[in-house]
Amino acid sequence: MKQYKEQPLYESLRQHAKIQPHQDAIIYYGKRISYKELDELSDRFAVFLQKQGITKGDKVALYMQNCPQYIICSLGIQKIGAIEGPCSPMFKEWELEYEIKDLGAKAIVTLDHLYSVVRNIKNQTDLEHIIVTNYIDFLPENPVPSFPEPIFKKEPIENTHDLNHILQQVIDQVPIVDIDMANDISLIVYTSGSTGLPKGAMLSFGNAFFKTKNVAECYGFRNEDIHLSIMPMCHIAGKLFSVNVPLFTGGTIVVLTRYTAEALVEVIETYKISVTYTVTPMNVDVMNLPNIQQVDFSTLKINQCTSFGIPLTEDIMHAWTTLTNSKIFEISYGSSETHTADTLMPLDDIVVGGHGKPIPGSEIRIVNPENTDEDMALGQLGEILIKSPAVFKGYLNKPEATKTAIQNGWLHTGDIGFMDERGHLFFQGRRKELIKCSGYSVFPEDVEVMLVRHPAVNAAAVIGVPDAKRGETVKAFIVLKSEYVGTITEKDIIAWSKEKMASYKYPRSIEFREVLPQTATGKLLRRVLVEEELQQRKGSKVNG
């Protein structure tokens, strides 16, 4: 097995740029960017940041859909030892403002059609520099497949920097920064425990290297592999599996800005995709396309998958393999606090319903949630604890939350699962009140804080409820101000929320209450609402 030196991801890029300078690093709707070009472009962005006073340890936010600019800027940020802060491009103003303020970002890179959101929150943040880009900067004249987003005419925007102009500048020298792999932070991703607003999980350069190396070794990826990047790069799993790993191994990344079943099939055929990472509904959509039997899937070898909305069942796996002759499997169990992929599904021991085995160098314990010193027997449910070189450095500005999460070197995930006799982990659910909607993380208090900004809302509580398509969806319990009772409807609240919140986050159902369940000290008891909802649904099934 190839031995990998522990180093930042950008050093792997530099090596590939020397060894295979003309190989495609990125293909974007037919636009090809070589390893040499990617290295040079990210160097130029790194030097620009330095000239603006951005130094090691400063935070730079990325607020973009999947595009080459995301990868270029991510690498440039790392090259000066700065910290990348990914923000969902679906965020509206309140959501973006919270993360930018909590992050303390000095700069942000955004697509110009999202600029208005950044402009409206800038004065409430520490942002000093706004860098703007446009899809057309990296799109070919005739995109293949056809480009799914509206193309906005590129016009100068006052008080911003144009990324395309930055990337055309000639630089005198390559940025060199000393990196402490174990302690220097490269990435801050937002996640949540059982209570509170989203917290920034600080992940080191070493965390990223450890997970990237393990994925590459587990599946034997090489520089001839062509990976499809269709999952959001702003999410830790999408970035790891479809960006970091191919760059690490010298492979090619075919980037799609937006998923459609038709586009997925077209890029597999056109660009000879060998590896892809999907969620199960994507595979089901593809198999339901007309004339799907005529599609050439001969180059596809591996389909890494995550169950969201629809579980990856044995029937789906069999149908996909019959259609494509490629392996499909539940790729892993992971936590944002460990750079995800704490387990990986081995190709020679695929288990339906399982989430793989602990990766080399990591330990997983299943413990009694009420007494974490007590280990559970094989097959018994318990809380998942992790000890790994990839465990994060803590939550940004939240030392007490960090102490709660990491105890005696073990990360307490708050998740429930069990181990079988073959060493496979079976993840069963979350003790956390995190809600998973179509693969996106929704934090209850985040939604509640926004709901109470509605002039008619006195108090709000949010829980996740089962949804056949989306896995879970958000339900909100609302206490109206007395003067609005009878004049505001559930549809009014939903319509307002849809306008104010990201599409995966806004409540799909509303229930008005006179009061919300609370402890004697006034703490909201969401678990009571969850239990009531469960009983109500059970009763509906019985009566039905």
Whether the model clears a pTM of 0.95, i.e. scores above it, the answer is no
Please report the pLDDT score of residue 535 as a whole number.
86
Task: Specify the residue for token string 């990591």.
Answer: 362
CB 276 within 8 A of CB 245: no
Counting Cα atoms < 13 Å in the Cβ hemisphere of 353 gives 6
Cis peptide upstream of residue 145 (ω within 30 degrees of 0):
yes
Phi first, then psi: give them for residue 438, nearest 5 degrees: 50, 35
Tokens describing residue 169: 């500048």
Tokens describing residue 203: 């992940």
Nearest C-alpha neighbor of 383 from the set 427, 338, 330, 434: 427
Radius of gyration over every alpha carbon of the chain, rounded to an integer in angstroms: 23
Please report the pLDDT score of residue 544 as a whole number.
56
Q: How do 161-162 and 129-133 pair as beta strands? A: parallel
CA dihedral (78, 82, 83, 84) positive or negative: negative
Task: State pLDDT tens for residues 335-360.
Answer: 999 999 999 999 999 999 999 999 99
Residue 533, burial from CB neighbour count under 10 angstroms (0-12, 13-18, 19+):
middle
Dihedral through CA 147, CA 283, CA 298, CA 315, nearest 10? -170
Nearest C-alpha neighbor of 208 from the set 336, 109, 329: 336
Question: DSSP string of 187-213?
Answer: EEEEE--SSSS-EEEEEEHHHHHHHHH
Tokens describing residue 355: 């989430």
Amino acid found at 10: Y
Output DSSP code: residue 340: S
Rounded to an integer, what distance in angstroms lies between the CA atom of residue 429 and that of residue 406?
20
User: Which positions of the chain have pLDDT values less than 70?
Assistant: 1, 192-196, 309, 429-432, 519-523, 540-544
Residue 520, burial from CB neighbour count under 10 angstroms (0-12, 13-18, 19+):
exposed
Rounded to an integer, what distance in angstroms lies between the CA atom of residue 175 and that of residue 79?
7
CB 435 within 8 A of CB 472: yes
Rounded to an integer, what distance in angstroms lies between the CA atom of residue 313 and that of residue 322?
14
Residues belonging to the chain: 544
Q: How far apart are the first and last CA of the chain?
A: 58
Rounded to an integer, what distance in angstroms lies between the CA atom of residue 167 and that of residue 162?
9
Q: Where are the alpha helices (DSSP H) in 52-190?
A: 68-79, 93-103, 115-121, 163-166
Q: Can you list the domains of the chain with their CATH numbers?
A: 13-224 (3.40.50.12780), 351-430 (2.30.38.10), 436-543 (3.30.300.30)
Please report the pLDDT score of residue 288 as a whole number.
95
Dihedral through CA 258, CA 259, CA 260, CA 261, nearest 10? 160
Phi first, then psi: give them for residue 240, nearest 5 degrees: -65, -55
Tokens describing residue 109: 């890179």
